[in-house]
Amino acid sequence: ERITLNYTYMSDVISDEAFMQIQPEVEQALRATLEKTGAGRDFLGWVSLPHEIPEALLQDIQQTADALRAKSDVIISIGIGGSYLGARAVIEAVQGPLAPYHEATQVLYAGHNISSWYMQDLLTFLEKKDFSLIVISKSGTTTEPALAFRILRDALEKCYGKEEAGKRIVAITDKAKGALKQLANDEGYKTFIIPDDVGGRFSVLTPVGLLPIACAGISIQEFIKGFRAMASALTAESSLKNNPALAYAAIRTLLYRQGKQIEILVNFEPALHYVSEWWKQLFGESEGKDGKALFPASVDFTTDLHSMGQLIQDGVRNLFETFIIVNKNRHTVTVPHDESNLDTLNYLEGKNLNEINFSAYQGTALAHKDGGAPSMTIELPELTPYYLGQLLYFFEIAVAVSGYLLKVNPFDQPGVEAYKKNMFALLGKPGVEQATHEIHTRLER
Ligand code: PA5
């Protein structure tokens, strides 16, 4: 079974003719992706990863995860952006947002903010725990994870001594470059390499995603199988009608060309919150350049129907939605009988929450369509590592094709440097003295 895309509710806004007219463009974009001939071609290594990951690497990752799990109550995954969101998306989608309360080994995160409140809470929590660290940074020089690693490594060494601490640290970074690689070499940490031709937001199928996922006790073999199944389906089929990633890329492109400005990814499962966070980075960082792109937003329903529902139903008509629906839920909770029926809910007695949630989805999609917010729906048979593998690869192919249709290089992110330059200048980093002087003058004005 595979994930599917249903776009019935787009028929009012996208004609069959428009859909077929974009076919040659889409086909060309798919070819540029698969043959690695398009813009940013040096960063297309992720395309063939599903079939190229060496079995020995998978075994090494699994063994490393098993060893860390055996001696840790908590494993902290330190990283930001593409070195953080893929693993968190998969772990939370499989184990649910309350996983830290029920899993024997907890995977927690650091290095994705600079908050001393967050860090102090984490340090206090770790005082009574056995813990280990995975530090992830392709460049090996990103400030947020480097700071978190320095602080947590200090705590780890104080707790276990330098030698044992060294055995509780795994570094995932570039094969040669960067401060983290140097540190890992000097200290003899277990290290995994991020391939040169795989950018951060496309790296979930490298040790960047796989080690934390395995540390959470989730089957990386099943996850990869999902990637492989999707890769076989998407790379063999260039017709829009038969290739859901191409249809998705084409529809969002046609809507953008019609003047839509915002795509909202919608879920009805709290476990999918971080899949949306991962998706926002994937599409935002890949497409948002040269003054272009749909703004990728996300909401968690039905929660946000009570906060953002009004705007989506009735605000500026510059948006459309992409729903993610899960067909088979792992749990069934049934509405009990209540003699007094003061809440008037006895008509729902015996129904399970999944049915009610599904009605909420159907009712919402129809109401929003009627209100001028069209939608499409991605259907997942189940929230398992296998189908998540399918979903992530589906989005990766879709963003490459969509980025090429937009005529941008989907694989660079030059705009990310601007805030860093200012921050380094403000902090007085050695070597940028002139910038430090200039920025203080600008802020004083
Ligand atoms: O996708 C990207 O390129 C970014 O989000 C990076 O992954 C992020 O900035 C972290 O970079 P690094 O892994 O070099 O620390």
Task: Give per-10-residue mean pLDDT for the chain (445 aa).
Answer: 96 95 97 96 96 97 98 98 98 93 93 98 97 96 96 98 98 95 96 97 98 98 98 94 97 98 98 98 97 98 97 97 96 96 97 97 98 98 98 98 98 89 91 93 89
Q: Where are the alpha helices (DSSP H) in 178-307?
A: 179-187, 207-215, 220-235, 244-258, 273-287
Confirm whether pTM is higher than 0.95. yes
Q: Quick check: CB of 80 below 6 Å from ligand 1? A: yes
User: Of 326, 334, 346, which Cα lies nearest the Cα of 268?
Assistant: 326
* Alpha carbons 17 and 205: distance in angstroms, whole number: 37
Q: Which residues, in sequence order, are CB contacts of 94 under 8 Å at separation 6+?
A: 216, 218, 271, 383, 384, 385, 388
Nearest CA to ligand 1 atom 9: 81
Q: Quick check: CB of 82 below 6 Å from ligand 1? A: yes
Q: Where are the beta strands (DSSP E) in 53-112?
A: 74-78, 106-110
Q: Give the side-chain half-sphere CA count within 13 A for 76.
A: 28
Nearest CA to ligand 1 atom 3: 200
Model pLDDT, residue 391:
98
Residue 378: exposure state from Cβ atoms within 10 A (0-12, 13-18, ≥19): buried
Element at 87 (helix H, strand E): helix 85-95
Using an 8 Å Cβ cutoff, are 174 and 138 in contact? yes
| Residue type for position 18 | A
Compute the distance from residue 80 Cα to the ligand 1 centre, in Å: 6
Compute the distance from residue 420 Cα to the ligand 1 centre, in Å: 13
Active site residues: 285, 420
Compute the distance from residue 137 Cα to the ligand 1 centre, in Å: 7
Model pLDDT, residue 249:
98
User: Of 330, 320, 326, which Cα lies nearest the Cα of 379?
Assistant: 326
The ipTM (two decimal places) reads 0.97
Q: Quick check: CB of 40 below 6 Å from ligand 1? A: no
Q: Quick check: CB of 111 below 6 Å from ligand 1? A: no
Based on C-alpha coordinates, what's the Rg of the chain? 23
356-369 core/surface letters (b: 16 or more CB in 10 A; e: else): ebbeebeebbeebb
Compute the distance from residue 53 Cα to the ligand 1 centre, in Å: 21
